[in-house]
Chains A and B, each alone.
Chain A
Amino acid sequence: MSKMIFDISSPGRKGCTLPKNDVSIDLKDCIPSKYMRQNTPELPEVSELDTMRHFIELSQKNHCIEKGFYPLGSCTMKYNPKLHETLVKHSCFNNLHPLQPNQTIQGALEIMYELQKDLAEISGFEKVSLQPVAGAQGEFTGLKVISAYHKAKGNTHKKKIILPDSAHGTNPASSTLVGFEVVEIKSNDQGKVDLEELRKVADDSVAGFMLTNPNTLGLFENQIEEIASIIHGVDGLMYMDGANLNALLGIVKPGEIGFDVMHINLHKTFGTPHGGGGPGSGPVGVRKDLVKFLPVPMVETDGDQFFLDYGHAEHSIGKVHTFYGNFAIMLRAYIYIKMLGAKGLRRVAENAIINANYLQSLLSEYYHISHKDIHCMHEFVADGEWQKEKYGIRTLDIAKRLLDKGYHAPTIYFPLIIHEAIMIEPTETESMETLDEFAATMIEIAHECETNPDLLLNAPFNTPVRRVDDTLAVRQLDIRYIRK
């Protein structure tokens, strides 16, 4: 157990120096006492070395991409190039204020303009807004655009968003936030959209349909043309959740297969780091007639210079971020695209798909895989049904045992339509040897279920803490340090 930073605090100790105040004005003469604080907030009092030791100690308790394989399905935990981190720290980026005069921000605007253009080309949409700062905010923005489209047409009866039961949790949550009613439809036995179910609910009240493609089982929704035709037939719009875009780079443009609106996760597909939960970036692309609804501002050029364009403010859904979105994340994605180019991006998708199929073929004898007869795209969903049935071992136990062996666990218990789901996305950056070793470990664990189930039931053993009691955390809510 690591000490809390508050436990190593010592009154008077300092972690940084400030210049001596060179104006001789007393705060008391500036601000009347009724505005002032009675007690000083109890922040730690520690030295720089104390701080470094504390956080380095904490860092050692994390798994991360550079420590080992991170096969988290739907999360695209690919390697994050180091060059991005070096270039992004240039003083002319990190010290750039969002309200500087236009002629002093041309470099930043050019990067945003180019990225808008490149993402539009990759996704097949007319324009892309870079403002949303996360995938879920991209969904929110895209659904607001759909709402604005119907409002502009006087479609006041459009109240429903349809989505399959395999959808990410953010899809229904974002729909509710925009004011839509959520209609969930059952997937068919292939794990794909059931056209009959879709036809049953696709009536005039439908505002749109949200679909992840490839879907969360890692399968391409090959009936996409019929789906789009059903939805467009009732004047609904097709929304694509771009979480799985990594599988489509240079192979398919979502804007060309029936989708009208889409978000892209720069922190998944375009190699920017996840940061322990963020910051990410969730740009939104739309077809031509929806461009005017995108958030303000866009970045445009008049040939001489780049500028922030508020020209469509009258139709726009407004703003979803205080300024222009997560510029530092955009910059990394820009570098990534410029380094890979068309052939490189296509190669990313191909290798992501090959890696997933290869790993699936290595595991299919040892773990139940519902849809193993179909080639998967960039990820596949195995499950722990065999292990549960025969040995009473749950997927959670398998996941925790993987932690003992130096791997991060795959995404588990998602998608909800697969019981005991183990969702695996290797990404293109992993080598064949890594996949071989991971498969050997998964197979070893499958054997352990038979030979030594206690190893699984009590796992993990080798991690910084043993299995964590999360129900106790809710029961005895302890969410901040309280000084004794």
Chain B
Amino acid sequence: MPYISNTDGERQKMLERIGVHQFSDLIQDIPEKFRLKKDLNLDSPLSEIEITKRIHGLTCNNLCTQSANAFLGAGVYDHYIPAAVDSITSRPEFLTAYTPYQAEVSQGTLQFIYEYQTMICELTGMEIANASMYDGATAAAEAILLAVRKNKLRKALIAGTIHPNFIQVIRAYTEGIGVEIVMIPSKNGTVDLDALKAAVDEQTSCVLLQTPNFFGNLEDGIAVNDIVKTQKKALYIVAADPISLGVIASPAEYGADVVIGEGQALGNSMYFGGPLFGFFAAKMDLARMMPGRIVGATLDTEGKRAYCLTLQAREQHIRREKATSNICSNESLCALAACVYMCLIGKEGLREVAIQSTTKAYYLAKEICSIPGFELAYPNVPFFKEFVVKASVSAEKIIQRLLPSAIYAGVDMAPYGEPNHLMIAVTEKKSKAEMDDLVNMLKEVSHV
């Protein structure tokens, strides 16, 4: 039997030592009528060779982004991952370890989390970061819950330009405790500042702004801050793309109190959208209200520097129904990948990734918009590595037309109410030639 060590002989010996004759003697507490009388209805077991063949067969039914020319984004991005990232995250010492509750035999995990927290603070300009959340969406939801805990107000204003899936998750997470979600409409692909100004009042617990937003556009963080800060108690929550923080202003520079975001772009594979991981950082005065695990430096009994989980009195295993969050398992290994990635790519590298992604995106946008029938959906708004074009035909048609040439043209915006809008993402991995291929194919589409 795979992965079970004991033989039938050993099993018998153990049963004897326990003092029973057969296995069924051990489960007498389970009422007879509840015990299954026949085998589970599952496929016959496969050997290592057979399952390997099955899996390879199934992969043939996927066309991955590496065998195609892909321009897909919308929250999950194909940035380059240096090989050393996988080499480290595959180490059993990191991969098969449990949560670092026993600090003395978990210093490896604890120190990398401390380093990761430091790097997230560097990127965001915040003063404290946790060890990770499930994804950007739940991090956003938890940030709103933190604001509600802090100021006891129940109205959360959310810029309508945020990722639509974030909104769904936020609604699921905040409905139970009675948070009122107010969506602020958008204007030309960014949040409508007048509408925001009109909506902010003394009941406002927080304002959540994503920048670059769902459409890739950069929001005016300073202007939003001026509006948020008209209310003394309201917290300013910013959802950021961590890659953008290589060149774009850190949310701390324009007044954010909490910075969260989807971290996948930092060294994690796309894996059909999971695992992802959320980063979560805040000003120090919010430390004791934060969700999730936090690692702190301390000393051992000999006075040597050591690390351990800290501020645990916030967490569910101590505080139970009064915990700041129900989170237990997080996405620790993804945070390790991000930490290793940030080491390898380094200070200059992150800047370069951000610059290349954006300048290439601008090149592609310009080329596409020179094709008759294509124009920017949100003209004159600065964007980061992603932009939306408006076409004379439906995005779905374009996507399907380009698919046989193994080009993933972009994300169809029809589910978000704009059937002729195509959202296109570019990373540093794209070459000019690959972008020109897309442009040439789009030229053909525009001819029909």
Cβ < 8 Å to A, chain B residues 293-328: 293-302, 304-313, 315-323, 325-328
Question: Closest Cβ of chain A: how far from B301's Cβ, in Å?
Answer: 5
Q: Are B14 and A134 in contact (CB under 8 A)?
A: no
- Give which listed residue, A318, A429, A473, contacts B308 with CB less than 8 A: A473
The interface residues of chain B lying within 8 Å CB-to-CB of A295 are: 172
A43 touches B74 (CB 8 A): no
A169 touches B323 (CB 8 A): yes
Contact of A44 among B18, B306, B322, B346 (CB under 8 A): B346
Could you tell me the distance in whole angstroms from the C-beta of B107 to the nearest C-beta in chain A?
4
CA distance A321 to B275 in the complex (A): 10
Q: Given A44-B343, A45-B346, is A319 in contact with B168 using a C-beta cutoff of 8 Å?
A: yes
Q: Which among A231-239, A327-335, A444-452 touches the partner chain?
A: A327-335
Considering the complex, which residues of chain A in the window 14-47 have a beta carbon less than 8 Å from any beta carbon of chain B? 14-16, 18-19, 21-23, 25-27, 29-32, 34-38, 40-46
Which listed segment binds A: B82-90, B181-189, B191-199, B438-446? B82-90
Interface status of A264 (Cβ within 8 A of chain B): no
Q: Contacts A48-B84, A279-B329 known; A354 to B274 CB distance under 8 Å?
A: no
Q: Are A58 and B52 closer than 8 Å at their CB atoms?
A: no
Q: How far is the CA of A104 from the CA of B69 in the complex (A)?
A: 13
Produce 1/0 per residue, A225-259, CB < 8 A to B.
10000000000000000000000001111001100
| Contact bitstring B1-33, A, C-beta under 8 A = 1, else 0 | 111111000110111011110010111111100
Known interface pairs A338-B43, A353-B26, A354-B15; A5-B115 also in contact (CB < 8 Å): yes
The answer, yes or no, to whether B36 is at the interface (CB within 8 Å) is yes
In the assembled complex, the CB of A443 is this many whole angstroms from the nearest CB of chain B, namely: 15
- Would you give the shortest CB distance from A180 to chain B, in whole angstroms? 8
Contact call B72/A100, Cβ cutoff below 8 A? yes
Q: Please give me the residue from chain B that is nearest to A362 by CB atom.
A: B17
**Residues on the B chain within 8 Å of A50, using CB:** 343
Q: State the CA gap A252–B33 with chains docked (Å).
A: 10
Could you say which of A61, A172, A328 contacts B320, with CB atoms under 8 Å apart? A172
Partner of B301, one of A46, A121, A252, A466: A466
List of B residues within 8 angstroms of A170 by Cβ: 316-317, 326, 328
Q: Which residue of A has the minimal Cβ distance to B15?
A: A354
Q: Name A356's closest neighbour in chain B (CB-CB).
A: B26
Count of residues in A whose CB is under 8 Å from the partner chain: 200
Cα–Cα distance between A133 and B91 once the two chains are bound (Å): 22
Are B272 and A97 closer than 8 Å at their CB atoms?
A: yes
Given contacts A60-B93, A179-B177, A267-B329, contact A30 B105 (CB under 8 A): no
The listed residue (A37, A348, A431) touching B247 by CB distance below 8 A is: A37
Q: How far is the CA of A438 from the CA of B284 in the complex (A)?
A: 44
Q: Are B115 and A481 in contact (CB under 8 A)?
A: yes
A441 vs B329: C-alpha distance when bound (angstroms): 30
Residue of A51, A280, A335 touching B344 (CB-CB under 8 A): A51
**Interface contact B51-A252, CB-CB below 8 Å:** no
Residues of A within 8 A of B218 (CB): 31, 35
Determine if B344 and A322 form an interchain contact, defined as CB atoms under 8 angstroms apart. no
Decide if B128 touches A5 in the complex (CB within 8 Å).
no
**B276 located at the interface, meaning its Cβ lies under 8 Å from any Cβ of chain A in the complex:** yes
* A251 touches which of B27, B128, B321 (Cβ 8 Å): B27
Q: Is B246 an interface residue (CB 8 A)?
A: yes
On whether the beta carbons of A345 and B40 are closer than 8 Å, the reply is yes
B326: which A residues are within 8 A, CB to CB? 136-137, 139-140, 170, 173-174, 176-177
- A341 with B11: in contact, given A95-B64, A175-B321, A346-B39 (CB under 8 Å)? no
Q: Are B3 and A325 in contact (CB-based, < 8 A)?
A: no
Contact B107 A61 (CB under 8 A): yes
Chain A residues, Cβ within 8 Å of B302: 466
**A170 and B14 alpha carbons, distance in the complex (Å):** 35
The one of A14, A101, A320, A478 that contacts B349, using a Cβ cutoff of 8 Å: A14
Residue A125 lies at the interface, judged by CB distance under 8 Å to chain B: no
Given the interface pairs A400-B104, A473-B296, the reply to whether A118 lies near B42 with Cβ below 8 Å is yes
Whether A430 sits at the interface, judged by CB under 8 Å, is yes
In this complex, how many residues of chain B approach chain A with their Cβ under 8 Å: the count is 207
Q: B130 — nearest CB in chain A belongs to which residue?
A: A479
Please, which residue of chain B has its CB at the minimum distance from the CB of A44? B343
Total A-B pairs, Cβ < 8 A? 678
Most buried by B among A14, A43, A50, A87: A43
Q: When chains A and B are docked, how far (Å) is the Cα of A477 from the Cα of B65?
A: 44
Of all chain B residues, the one with the shortest Cβ separation from A42 is B122
Query: Is A199 part of the binding interface, using a Cβ–Cβ cutoff of 8 Å?
Result: no
- Shortest beta-carbon distance from A317 to chain B in Å: 6
> Which residues of B sit under 8 angstroms from A429, Cβ to Cβ?
3-5
Interface centre among B41, B47, B87, B330 (most CB of A within 10 A): B330
Q: Does A368 have its Cβ within 8 Å of any Cβ on chain B?
A: no
Query: Is B210 at the interface (CB under 8 A from chain A)?
Result: no
Task: Provide the residues of chain A in CB contact with B358, threshold 8 Å.
Answer: 27, 30-31
Whether the pair B3, A79 counts as a contact (CB closer than 8 A) is yes
Cβ of A136 to closest chain B Cβ, rounded Å: 5
Is B298 in contact with A6, judged by CB distance below 8 angstroms? no
Measured CB to CB, the closest approach of chain B to A399, in angstroms, equals 7
Known: A220-B30, A470-B298. A91 touches B84 (CB 8 A): no
Indicate which residue in B3, B14, B65 contacts A95 across the interface (CB closer than 8 Å).
Answer: B65
Across the interface, which residues of B come within 8 angstroms of A91, CB to CB? 64, 66-67
Q: Is A287 an interface residue (CB 8 A)?
A: no
Q: Is A484 an interface residue (CB 8 A)?
A: no
Contact B72 A169 (CB under 8 A): no
Q: Is B370 an interface residue (CB 8 A)?
A: no
Q: CB distance B296 to A478 under 8 Å?
A: yes
User: Are A178 and B51 neighbours in the complex by a CB distance under 8 Å?
Assistant: no
- Among A38, A51, A400, the most chain B Cβ lie within 10 Å of the Cβ of A51
With A and B bound together, what is the CA distance between A92 and B269 in angstroms? 11
Most buried by B among A89, A108, A179, A429: A108
- Tell me whether B29 and A374 are in contact (CB under 8 A): yes
Q: Is the CB of A133 within 8 A of B34?
A: no
Measured CA separation A93–B108 after assembly (Å): 29
Q: Which A residues touch B293, using CB under 8 A?
A: 277
Which residues of B lie under 8 Å from residue A318 when comparing CB positions? 168-169, 171-172
Contact A220 B14 (CB under 8 A): no
Q: Are A21 and B356 in contact (CB under 8 A)?
A: yes
With A322-B262, A429-B3 as contacts: A479 and B104 at CB distance below 8 Å:
no
Judge whether B336 is part of the interface by a CB distance below 8 angstroms.
yes
Does any Cβ of A come within 8 Å of B369's Cβ? no
Would you call B271 and A328 a contact (CB within 8 A)?
A: yes
- What residues of B have a CB within 8 angstroms of the CB of A27 in the complex? 247, 355, 358-359
State whether A375 touches B272 (Cβ < 8 A): no
In Å, the complex CA distance between A1 and B295 comes to 16
A-B pairs, 6 with minimum CB distance: A323-B273, A179-B176, A98-B273, A341-B45, A275-B333, A277-B332
New contact pairs (16) apart from A41-B119, A173-B321, A477-B296, CB-CB < 8 Å = A5-B343, A26-B359, A46-B346, A61-B108, A62-B105, A90-B59, A98-B272, A133-B135, A174-B326, A253-B36, A274-B97, A276-B109, A277-B131, A319-B137, A324-B272, A468-B300
Chosen A-B contacts, 23 in total, with CB atoms closer than 8 Å, are A14-B346, A61-B105, A89-B86, A97-B72, A105-B62, A133-B331, A136-B327, A169-B317, A252-B35, A273-B96, A278-B330, A278-B333, A323-B76, A344-B45, A354-B11, A357-B14, A431-B6, A470-B308, A470-B310, A473-B310, A479-B129, A479-B294, A479-B297
